[in-house]
Structure 1
């Protein structure tokens, strides 16, 4: 259990870019991805802005080299996973013991919704191929087959912490010598069911979201996929890894089905546990990628926990969801890629639309994209429904 685990590469597709480089350009240009719905058909099209991937399913299918009738969730997953593998410096995937651990919350629900629209009009209508990949695990298995992965395939579905928990599980697989490489992260596509559910909770903003702003009124939903390539210590010695996956922890305060505990207990325990595993003190963290959804409850809970753990030293921090929207099961994976790459390149990401300091907190997020920072350790937070809280720590790549 003592072997180190490394990040050898990463790939992202989301509302601000079809790959990692496009995403970085959007951060530099201060171009968040929120806008009116273009591809999701909803009665709320003109009410709630969303951060959609800027491509229809036919275009995504061409990029992914998959049939267009496949779920958007799977198309996004395959595109990001392939980019991650190509960035790692690894050769043919069949040369390694590879695992695929992917989080998601909607499965193939986007296609199921299309099926039922036809089926309810006519019981003989609808294409059954649109429901066979409905459940979350089916999406993971479909993408694993396309990638040629046979050694280990697992699906994580723990709401908004799914992608982060996939990295934790992948690291354990490597540490226990079950596999040598894991493609770990998450994927989710926008669906009417998800949009309507969050609307019922009354936590969607009708304007572009403002994480950690005192005037925040809710989140914007997004979609996408993000994966890192986790490799063993022995394999990392042959590569040029981005960084080391030095610490992680999951905690559950079980406060409420959908709300964080007001005192941020789970958030605090997750961050503290990740620091303890990495052997770090709070003041050694150089940047925090906040969970930062933009809801009243989530941002306050996370802020209280950060204040408890980090005061009086507060590292630079920001919520990249102010650009990508909340991508749910994909968010932990997407933000792990952003965080690991930030460490590698010395980047701080901006928190868009922040103007008003939260009166309950003594710190504020950074609002400008900047480079040239000598970061040694970066933290990424993902806090989900049911109190499922996860924190990841990445450290500079030095053997």
Structure 2
């Protein structure tokens, strides 16, 4: 793949409303997985969530959208992260609106996050809510396009947990093929009854904050977040100080094994990592850190560990930052891409929190404590979604 670089980042999660706040929480090992304050659900008392510490009214006010109609929480957090990313990349309004700027986003719950309103509207109960036209999965992206008068290629991806990782990969392909000069890629998902009830029916939600790669892990903790990165060709970047990292490669595959589980032989995760390494022209030994998919479910953590053991002669340091923010679904790939870039830029590793007894089946364990002053040139970031959708991204230091 040609030299594609990241020139801007924006994120809002349960550990920070900005990139700077996220970084500070990562370094201080502050988890955002707690009892929910804003999300209303019968499970709010019994489960822990990675909830953004800002209600809808505060978001509307901060974004100057108090007079708007139909802005769902998915859309509000998407707009906030999008604005931070374009400001960080120093994109002008003219550049954002240009037909040569592509916008590739992703979401799983989309505008269906207000489940009660959706139910009432679908069943013609009472006066239609203000969200009657907001339930599409692409609503957040379409509203961003209208707010910024964007004219370039726009797309929204839903491949479950690998959605925003695939948005980033598609963005890179648009740059490679000359269909765009810059791409804003990422995703947004907020907590919703629709999502929580669905995951609860699969019996993979933990009743305590998740602990990926722990022997006694019980399942995942759901979170909400939005994150976007700006991709450009290095040759087009006039101010090299804007470059945050190189997007070195990606691998995408589908193991077609099960609707919600990875295969026992980990062929999907392993193939995704192998394809990413091949595209980046790197050897497994070149990887200095892995931001693992690491959901905390019995299935994922054992199969991902098995994939590591088969691909690497010596497994590099790895951890799951989902232990900080929970599983943010479509936003996870972009959030973890940003955390991977922060790892490279600051030469430090953010640990898997709450691991008391690492999985004993393998001779390696995740990083358990914040580790500064490391030497990392290449980071592998994994996102493995339902339906066998496996994606791996590689980010490299800009030398």
TM-score > 0.5 by shorter chain: yes
* 2:4/2:233 contact within 8 Å kept: yes
Residue 158 (structure 2) aligns with: 157
Q: Secondary structure at the match of 1:169?
A: helix
Which residue of 286, 306, 309 corresponds with 1:307?
309
Q: Structure 1: which 4+ aligned runs deviate by more than 6 Å? A: none
Shift, 1:63, TM fit: 2.4
CA distance, structure 2, for counterparts of residue 289 and residue 93 of structure 1: 35
Instruction: Give the length in aligned residue pairs.
Output: 394
Q: Deviations over 1:287-343 (max 9, x none)?
A: 1101000000011111100111012x1211110000000000000011111111211
Shift, 1:93, TM fit: 4.4
CA distance, structure 2, for counterparts of residue 57 and residue 174 of structure 1: 35
CA distance, structure 2, for counterparts of residue 167 and residue 73 of structure 1: 19
Shift, 1:14, TM fit: 0.7
Q: Deviations over 1:50-84 (max 9, x none)?
A: 11000100111122332374010011111111111
CA distance, structure 2, for counterparts of residue 281 and residue 300 of structure 1: 23
CA distance, structure 2, for counterparts of residue 117 and residue 147 of structure 1: 32
Say whether 1:111 aligns with 2:114: yes
CA distance, structure 2, for counterparts of residue 118 and residue 38 of structure 1: 26
CA distance, structure 1, for counterparts of residue 212 and residue 134 of structure 2: 34
Q: Map 1:234-273 to 2 at 5 A.
A: 234-240=235-241, 241-273=243-275
CA distance, structure 2, for counterparts of residue 219 and residue 93 of structure 1: 42
Q: Deviations over 1:86-144 (max 9, x none)?
A: 11233334375211101110111123533535886x733341x3121211122211122
* Unaligned runs of at least 5 residues, structure 2: none
Residue 341 (structure 1) aligns with: 342
Give the TM-score normalised by the residue count of structure 1: 0.95
* 2:15/2:32 contact within 8 Å kept: yes
Q: Map 1:1-399 to 2 at 5 A.
A: 3-66=2-65, 67=68, 69-94=70-95, 96=98, 97-117=100-120, 123-127=125-129, 129-240=130-241, 241-311=243-313, 313-398=314-399
Q: Which deviates further from its counterpart, 322-331 or 302-311?
A: 302-311
* Cα separation, partners in 2 of 1:113 and 1:385, compared to 1, 3 Å: same
* 2:289/2:380 contact within 8 Å kept: yes
CA distance, structure 2, for counterparts of residue 29 and residue 300 of structure 1: 28
* Unaligned runs of at least 5 residues, structure 1: none
* Cα separation, partners in 2 of 1:131 and 1:204, compared to 1, 3 Å: same
Give the TM-score normalised by the residue count of structure 2: 0.95
* 2:70/2:134 contact within 8 Å kept: no
Q: Please report the RMSD computed on the Cα atoms of aligned residues, expressed in angstroms.
A: 1.6
CA distance, structure 1, for counterparts of residue 348 and residue 93 of structure 2: 31
* Cα separation, partners in 2 of 1:93 and 1:306, compared to 1, 3 Å: farther
CA distance, structure 1, for counterparts of residue 113 and residue 298 of structure 2: 29
CA distance, structure 2, for counterparts of residue 42 and residue 332 of structure 1: 26
* 1:115/1:126 contact within 8 Å kept: no
CA distance, structure 2, for counterparts of residue 179 and residue 119 of structure 1: 38
CA distance, structure 2, for counterparts of residue 93 and residue 301 of structure 1: 46
Shift, 1:225, TM fit: 0.6
Q: Which deviates further from its counterpart, 340-349 or 316-325?
A: 340-349
* 2:120/2:126 contact within 8 Å kept: no
Q: Secondary structure at the match of 1:390?
A: strand
